[in-house]
Chains A and B, each alone.
Chain A
Amino acid sequence: MELECCWKTEIIESAQCPNIMDDERELRFSLKRRLLEKCLECPRFGNDLEILARTEPSLSMVLRNLAAEYLDQKEQIHYMAGFLNSRNRELQFLHEIGIVLQTSMELDEVLSVAMTAITAGKGFGLNRAFLLLIDDEKRTLNGYLGVGPKTYQEAWQTWEEIGRDDFSLREMAKIFHDTKLSFEKAKFQDLLEQLTVPLDDQSHILNRALLNGKPMLVENAFNNPGVDPVLARILGVDTFLILPLISRKRRIGMIIADNFITGKQITGDDMESMEIFVFPAALAIERASLHERLQEEVEKLSKANSKLKEQQELIVKMEKMALVGKITSSIAHSIRNPLMIIGGFARSLQRKLDENDPKREYAESILYEARKLEDALTEVLGYADSLHPAMDVWDINELVENASREMRDEMAKQGVVCSLDLGINLPMVFIDYKQVAFCMRKIIGNAIEAMPEGGMIGISTRADDHDCLVLEIRDTSTTITASLQDYLSAPSFTTREQISALSVSLCKMILEKNCLSFHVERSTEGGTRYTIRLPLKKEETFHE
């Protein structure tokens, strides 16, 4: 009996078996291995079994059956190994995503990972993905982010780039987050705006998927009565996958994914794999959005805290100023009575003494100095009064009328004519009446002083475009008072000036503390214009 195969020979030469490759030389020396790995599949072995069947039919049949069973088992093991390998790769991928999702707190970073995982070839490899998030206040599901190519050309270009650079999924997500996220958001903006569904529309397929909480593969979308034709038109695909994002029974939103470019079929296996991925993704998105909201709240609280600190400092400062005001006022009042007596008797003496009496001159001097001291005292008391802030809503026209009336005698004495041009139906302003009136009197006083030969003072009020009223005081002065000169040359107020000059600079300081802007313009032809802007609404803080 002449056999063709070498299955009975312990050691063979290379030429004896055509199935042994160069890198399998060791099989030449192991009959057992060679028999299982090569001979059972070799046609020459099959021929040998035919030959054997002539003399040993039952042995040949047993061998044939054993060989067939072995090969069958081998194939199954091979298939299982492939399956396990693919599952292993999938688990590794999910593990990688899971780590990134669990460690990241930034919403955009989480979204970048999730969307890259769905669309990258190393991930689930779908062409496009859209993220829709629930707006709890508006009770709508809104398109938030779209990822993927819009055209074939863009698709090939992107895939070519990805093919060139062998990035891991994590690296790809990072590149996407750093360089492409804002571009992708803008790219699909038109489509995302259309992807708005009211949550109350329970018949809508997206809401149904959300309620069901399970991934849903939508097929034949254009002719499917269960699919909103508008949604199919917006997406432009017949088949797409809906992946609801649900975290601890709370609905976050969903991802819609499709193969818009390749048209490749989405299988049940794809859907199954994604179901495992969707849960950690939903959890991460929820956590990141909560974190983002928390950050916003922390920021708000921190701002409120610093504002509170500013206010506290301001209150302390104001209290100090009020105390200074009280002390100043108390001292000034204790001076007023004796001053009145000195000045009053001097005046009485002056009146009663004969015109040629030399003592009359003394009385005049006493009276002159007493009057000067009284003027200074009035000014100090006016300033002290202005240090007690009392903000309230006032009619600016009433303030202007009162302040100009108080200055009427002084204006008349100097030959100054005052004209008022007050706006009609002006809204109320939120100011400290006393302080603004004090400043107005100071400004009018300065204008009178600048017009020793007489002149005109025009006072006007009007509404401005920017939530404020404008109070303007103009004079026709040809000279500049020392106080205005001080202000124009050094508009900032220093401690030295604060002590020595109760002037235009002081007005600026008082007005700016009340959040009122103050501006002085000197015309080249003569005349000065003082502009004060008064807010309509209550300001939260005072400027330093």
Chain B
Amino acid sequence: MSKILVVDDESSIRLLYSEELADEGFEVVTAGTAAEAAERVAQEEFDLMILDIKLKNESGLDLLQKIIRERQNLPVILCSAFSCYKDDFSAWLADSYVVKSSNLQELKDEIRKVLAKKAQRQNLH
């Protein structure tokens, strides 16, 4: 079972993701701040991180850079209400970018794609 860390400052969104992704067979852990997320990543192994860009008083893109430096093998999907960050080159470091929507199908599809890629990479090694 793949373990996913959801990072979003909205508790309702964390709850929604938890329920929806659990239904898809994923193990979901959530974090409301960048610091909490960093702590979780330091303590546990995750297969994937879903990261919001606009966190309360924090930038998800800063956390993304930290993760890439410290945990190169952890794929990250940026999930934001803003589509404009697609053009921001620091967002290109993420494995995928999804604009938030009540229909989580696109996000679910991206999760599967990213995990499949990760598996492929691991098989090669």
Contact = CB atoms under 8 A, between A and B. Distances in A.
A333 B99 CA distance: 11
B82 A341 contact: no
B82 A370 contact: no
B43 interface: no
Interface residues of A, number: 20
A337 B99 CA distance: 11
Contacts of B19: 348
A432 interface: no
B83 A374 contact: no
B81 A340 contact: yes
Contact of A344 (B16, B82, B83): B16
Contact of B10 (A341, A347, A371): A341
Contacts of A344: 13, 16, 20, 102, 104
A341 B12 contact: yes
A329 B102 CA distance: 18
Interface string B57-86: 000000000000000000000000111100
A381 interface: yes
A343 B100 contact: no
Contact of A348 (B20, B81, B82): B20
B20 A336 contact: no
Interface in B1-23: 10, 12-13, 16, 19-20
Interface in A301-353: 329, 333, 336-337, 339-348
A158 to B, nearest CB: 77
A333 B80 CA distance: 9
Contacts of B104: 344, 347
A227 B111 CA distance: 94
A383 to B, nearest CB: 13
B6 to A, nearest CB: 13
A367 interface: yes
Nearest to B84: A385
A336 B48 CA distance: 24
B83 A385 contact: yes
Interface residues of B, number: 15
B16 A337 contact: no
Interface in B80-116: 81-84, 100-104
Contacts of A381: 83
Interface string A343-383: 11111100000000000000000010011001000000100
A343 B12 CA distance: 12
Nearest to A409: B106
A348 B16 contact: yes
Contacts of A333: 81-82
A260 B81 CA distance: 90
Nearest to B10: A337
Nearest to A366: B102
B109 to A, nearest CB: 11
Nearest to A373: B102
Interface string B21-63: 0000000000000000000000000000000000000000000
Contact of B100 (A340, A370, A385): A340
Given A337-B13, A340-B13, A341-B16, A347 B102 contact: yes
A346 B81 contact: no
Nearest to A333: B81
A148 B104 CA distance: 91
A339 B102 contact: yes
Contacts of A343: 101-103
Contacts of B83: 381, 385
B67 to A, nearest CB: 23
A345 B20 CA distance: 9
Interface string A435-477: 0000000000000000000000000000000000000000000
A377 to B, nearest CB: 9
Given A344-B20, A348-B19, A371 B102 contact: yes
Nearest to B19: A348
Given A344-B16, A381-B83, A385-B83, A367 B102 contact: yes
Contacts of B82: 333
Nearest to A381: B83
Contacts of B100: 336-337, 340
A456 B118 CA distance: 39
A370 B102 contact: yes
A342 B102 contact: yes
B78 to A, nearest CB: 15
A506 B53 CA distance: 31
Contacts of A374: 101-102
A345 B18 CA distance: 11
Contacts of A347: 102-104
A340 B84 CA distance: 18
Nearest to A347: B102
A335 B36 CA distance: 26
A336 B16 contact: no
Contacts of A370: 102
A47 B87 CA distance: 127
Contacts of B84: 329, 385
A189 B10 CA distance: 85
25 contacts: A329-B84, A333-B82, A336-B81, A337-B10, A337-B13, A339-B102, A340-B13, A340-B16, A340-B101, A340-B102, A341-B10, A341-B12, A341-B13, A343-B103, A344-B16, A344-B102, A344-B104, A345-B12, A346-B102, A348-B16, A348-B19, A348-B20, A367-B102, A370-B102, A385-B83
Interface of B: 10, 12-13, 16, 19-20, 81-84, 100-104
In the complex, the 6 A-B pairs of residues with the closest C-beta atoms, listed nearest first: A343-B102, A336-B81, A344-B16, A341-B12, A344-B102, A333-B81
Given A340-B13, A340-B81, A344-B13, 9 more contacts: A336-B100, A337-B81, A340-B100, A340-B101, A341-B12, A341-B13, A346-B102, A347-B104, A370-B102
